[in-house]
């Protein structure tokens, strides 16, 4: 296995119009390995002038790409998938060094990116229209056209997966794309541009590294047709407000405060395993779909908690770039102190700490942002820890007896991304699934995603659906044509 310093991307400038270009201001920022504090080098910071230049190049790319036959676009998408697969391990190593996710699991992220390119390559002819019967002297039909320049702004927790998997649908539909990677972990997106950029006509796929200023300029640009964000609720609201100025389309994949609900007839061992899996401790809980609120029925509460504590004890964190590591570290000092803040609040508000709750004392971990799996019991729905997204490795366990009160507590959250329901009774499962206000539900499962199954949130967890045909269609616009014969 190579070391991560061998595989970091060579290019650190902006990629647009098929070229690597310095930021006009000459400004750069640096990125660090969150496990060690070591610098991974610098990257260019795009400002509004760079954004304008890149959008214009993307528009040129769009005019070429939209004229490429869908089947020919699919050929290029499949080539991109193959290149990603060929470099899956190297990409995973970059992400593990830059974002703190464990190497072995980040390989799945590389493969997920490749799989999305293959999936959307297969859907290119599904952006189709219909006809309306209006009599012999009229032909009325619809067709779907690409939007133009689509912007994707991404969060830091799965940098490559988001860059690659969310590039596939806009490209399949014939749009040009500008990706803004997370400022905390931009390197794997630069590597994506190095690897697949040359497969496309110049300007079709572009990467602008930068912070909030770059994001804001992209959202406000009048020639951008759609902006899609994977990020936090406040950023989603800021983008929706800013996009209103030019009435561009907005897609939002935002936060979650997701519930796992265990009924008294469920198997406590399976619920415990599902709860730990659903909490995504592997990424320190930094996953929008994490089931961070565990609603356990009184009859099985103690047995499930026992199982959770055993499973959590067996979780070993380590350096993310090591092959054996099960759990990595958090992205930044800021995210770590946010987690510590929520833990302190939970203790103050009366929750009982039964696992974790303090940074590791081992000096190997002192330079990184490590935090152990942390579990609270005796959490009540009104506590801050039960209401707000921590985006850290903190699980809250709530006890219930009355089903109506429990469902009301589950739905009290303003967020509604995922839910996980555990029972052996099919009718109970379907009734609960219908009552829970969330967009993506597992019954007797947690955490997994399936290409083709629409992923997205209810309420303030977002707008739109991805990972499915809906994502492709949301990258198109419908035209109606009425022909008097
Ligand atoms: N629903 C999902 O699919 C999903 C997946 C992963 C993460 N998330 C959410 O993302 C959040 C964590 O990620 P984060 O801390 O990187 O989120 P964030 O909102 O702080 O940043 C996300 C991206 O938006 C950019 N940005 C920030 N302000 C902007 C603005 N005003 N205009 C344009 N761009 C702007 C950032 O530079 C970054 O690239 C959590 O809330 C998590 O739940 C959601």
Residue having the nearest C-alpha atom to atom 5 of ligand 1: 288
Q: Whose CA is nearest to atom 41 of ligand 1?
A: 232
Ligand 1 centre and the CA of 154: distance in Å?
6
Residue nearest ligand 1's atom 3 by CA: 253
Instruction: Identify which of 159, 235, 292 to mutate to test ligand 1's pocket (most ligand atoms within 8 A of the CB).
Output: 235
Check residue 316 and give its pLDDT: 81
Name the closest-CA residue to atom 43, ligand 1: 255
Query: What was the pLDDT predicted at 175?
Result: 99
User: For residue 43, what are the CA distances in angstroms to 57, 91, 257, 412, 441?
Assistant: 21, 17, 33, 42, 39
Cα 18 from Cα 372, distance rounded (Å): 43
pLDDT score at 440: 98
Cβ-proximal residues to 171 (8 Å cutoff; 6+ apart), any chain: 65, 73, 77, 120, 177, 200, 204, 205
User: Token match 């002192």: residue?
Assistant: 366
Q: Whose CA is nearest to atom 33 of ligand 1?
A: 215
CB 420, CB 258: distance < 8 Å: yes
Residue 356's closest CA among 411, 396, 301, 412? 396
CA of 373 to the centre of ligand 1 (A): 23
Q: Which residue out of 90, 111, 118, 253 is catalytically annotated?
A: 253
Q: Could you give the CA distance from residue 121 to residue 169 in angstroms, rounded to a whole number?
A: 8
CA 146 to chain centre: 23
Decide if 253 is catalytic: yes
State how far the Cα of 300 lies from the Cα of 269, in Å rounded to an integer: 10
Q: Identify the residue whose C-alpha is closest to ligand 1 atom 6.
A: 288
Q: 481: CA distance to ligand 1 center in Å?
A: 39
Q: How far apart are CA 218 and CA 50, in angstroms?
A: 10
The pLDDT, as a whole number, for residue 31 is: 98
Protein residue whose Cα sits closest to atom 27 of ligand 1: 212
Atom of ligand 1 nearest to the CA of 457: 1
ipTM over 0.95: yes
Q: What is the per-residue pLDDT for 14? A: 98
Instruction: Quote the ligand 1 centre to 180 CA distance (angstroms).
Output: 11
Distance CA 222, CA 469 (A): 27
Please answer whether residues 195 and 83 qualify as being in contact, where contact means their C-beta atoms are separated by less than 8 angstroms: yes
Closest protein CA for atom 2 of ligand 1: 253
Q: Identify which of 47, 48, 210, 231 to mutate to test ligand 1's pocket (most ligand atoms within 8 A of the CB).
A: 231
Q: Is residue 239 within 8 Å of 259, Cβ to Cβ?
A: no
- With tokens 């659903």, the residue in question is 278
Q: Residues near 234 by Cβ (< 8 Å), separated by ≥ 6?
A: none
Q: Quick check: 395 and 375 in contact, CB under 8 A?
A: yes
Count, residues in the chain: 485
Task: Output the CA 254–ligand 1 centroid distance in Å.
Answer: 7
Q: Which atom of ligand 1 is nearest to the CA of 253?
A: 1
- 377 alpha carbon – ligand 1 mean position (Å): 29
Protein residue with its CA nearest to atom 16 in ligand 1? 155
Evaluate whether 302 touches 350 at the Cβ level (below 8 Å): no
- For ligand 1, the distance from its centroid to the CA atom of residue 155, given in whole angstroms, is 4
Specify the ligand 1 atom closest to the Cα of 211.
37
Ligand 1 centre distance from Cα of residue 251 (Å): 12
What pLDDT score was predicted for residue 367?
92
Encoding tokens for residue 25? 């201001």
Structure tokens at 221: 């640009």
> Cα angle at 162 between 68 and 70, to 5 degrees?
15
For ligand 1, mutation pick of 155, 221, 258 (most atoms within 8 Å of CB): 155
Radius of gyration over every alpha carbon of the chain, rounded to an integer in angstroms: 23
Residue in this structure with the two tokens 């303090």, named with its chain if needed: 358
Q: Which atom of ligand 1 is nearest to the CA of 238?
A: 31
pLDDT at 474: 98
Contact between 175 and 475 under an 8 Å Cβ cutoff? The reply is yes
Which domains occur in the chain, in start order?
A: 4-254+462-484 (3.40.605.10), 259-450 (3.40.309.10)
Atom of ligand 1 nearest to the CA of 181: 39
Q: What pLDDT is stored for residue 315 in this prediction?
A: 84
CA 328 – CA 393 distance, rounded (Å): 11
Q: How far is the CA of 171 from the centre of ligand 1 (A)?
A: 22
Query: CB of 212 within 8 A of CB of 232?
Result: no
Q: Which atom of ligand 1 is nearest to the CA of 182?
A: 39
Query: Given the structure tokens 């930021």, which residue do they identify?
Result: 23
- What is the position in ligand 1's atom list of the atom closest to the CA of 227? 33
Q: Residues lining ligand 1, CB < 6 A?
A: 153-157, 180, 182-183, 211-212, 215-216, 219, 229-232, 235, 238-239, 253-256, 288, 389, 391, 417, 462
Between CA 284 and CA 351 the distance in angstroms is 20
485 residues of the chain, pLDDT tens digit each: 789 999 999 999 999 999 999 999 999 999 999 999 999 999 999 999 999 999 999 999 999 999 999 999 999 999 999 999 999 999 999 999 999 999 999 999 999 999 999 999 999 999 999 999 999 999 999 999 999 999 999 999 999 999 999 999 999 999 999 999 999 999 999 999 999 999 999 999 999 999 999 999 999 999 999 999 999 999 999 999 999 999 999 999 999 999 999 999 999 999 999 999 999 999 999 999 999 999 999 999 999 999 999 999 988 889 999 999 999 999 999 999 999 999 999 999 999 999 999 999 988 899 999 999 999 999 999 999 999 999 999 999 999 999 999 999 999 999 999 999 999 999 999 999 999 999 999 999 999 999 999 999 999 999 999 999 999 999 999 999 999 99
């Amino acid at each position: 296995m190579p070391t991560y310093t061998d595989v970091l991307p060579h290019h650190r400038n902006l990629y647009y119009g098929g070229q690597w270009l310095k930021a006009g201001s000459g400004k750069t920022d640096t990125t660090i390995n969150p496990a060690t504090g070591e610098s991974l080098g610098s990257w260019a910071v795009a400002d509004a002038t760079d954004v304008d230049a890149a959008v214009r190049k993307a528009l040129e790319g769009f005019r070429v790409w939209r004229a490429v036959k869908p089947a020919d676009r699919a050929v290029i998408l499949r080539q991109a998938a193959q290149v990603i697969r060929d470099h899956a391990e190297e990409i995973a190593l970059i992400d593990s060094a830059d974002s703190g996710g464990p190497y072995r699991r980040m390989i799945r992220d590389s493969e997920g990116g490749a799989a999305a390119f293959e999936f959307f390559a297969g859907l290119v002819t599904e952006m189709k229209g219909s006809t309306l019967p209006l009599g012999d002297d009229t032909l009325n039909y619809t067709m779907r056209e690409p939007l133009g320049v689509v912007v994707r702004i991404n969060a830091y927790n799965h940098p490559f997966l988001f860059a690659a998997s969310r590039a596939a649908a806009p490209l399949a539909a014939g749009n040009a794309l500008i990706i803004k990677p997370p400022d905390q972990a931009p390197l794997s997106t630069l590597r994506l541009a190095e690897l697949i950029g040359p497969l496309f006509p110049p300007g079709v796929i572009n990467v602008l590294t930068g912070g909030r200023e770059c994001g804001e300029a992209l959202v406000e640009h009048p020639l951008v047709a759609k902006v899609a964000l994977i990020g936090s609720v406040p950023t989603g609201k800021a983008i929706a407000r800013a996009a209103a100025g030019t009435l561009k389309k907005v897609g939002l994949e935002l936060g979650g405060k997701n519930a796992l609900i265990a009924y008294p007839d469920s198997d406590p061992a399976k619920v415990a395993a599902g709860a730990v899996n659903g909490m995504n401790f592997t990424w320190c809980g930094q996953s929008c779909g994490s089931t961070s609120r565990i609603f356990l029925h009184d009859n099985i509460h103690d047995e499930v908690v026992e199982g959770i504590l055993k499973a959590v004890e067996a979780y070993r964190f380590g350096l993310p770039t090591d092959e054996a590591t099960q759990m990595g570290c958090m992205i930044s000092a800021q995210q770590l102190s946010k987690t510590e803040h929520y833990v302190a609040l939970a203790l103050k508000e009366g929750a009982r700490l039964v696992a974790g709750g303090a940074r590791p004392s081992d000096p190997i971990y002192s330079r990184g942002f490590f935090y152990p799996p942390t579990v609270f019991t005796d959490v009540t729905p009104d506590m801050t820890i039960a209401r707000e997204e921590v985006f850290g490795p903190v699980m809250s366990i709530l006890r219930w007896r009355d089903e109506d009160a429990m469902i009301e507590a589950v739905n009290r959250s303003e967020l509604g991304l995922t839910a996980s329901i555990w029972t052996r009774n099919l009718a109970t499962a379907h009734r609960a699934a219908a009552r829970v206000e969330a967009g993506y539900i597992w019954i007797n499962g947690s955490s997994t995603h399936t290409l083709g199954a629409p992923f997205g949130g209810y309420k303030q967890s977002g707008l739109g659906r991805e990972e499915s045909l809906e994502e492709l269609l949301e990258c198109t616009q419908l035209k109606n044509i009425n022909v008097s014969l």
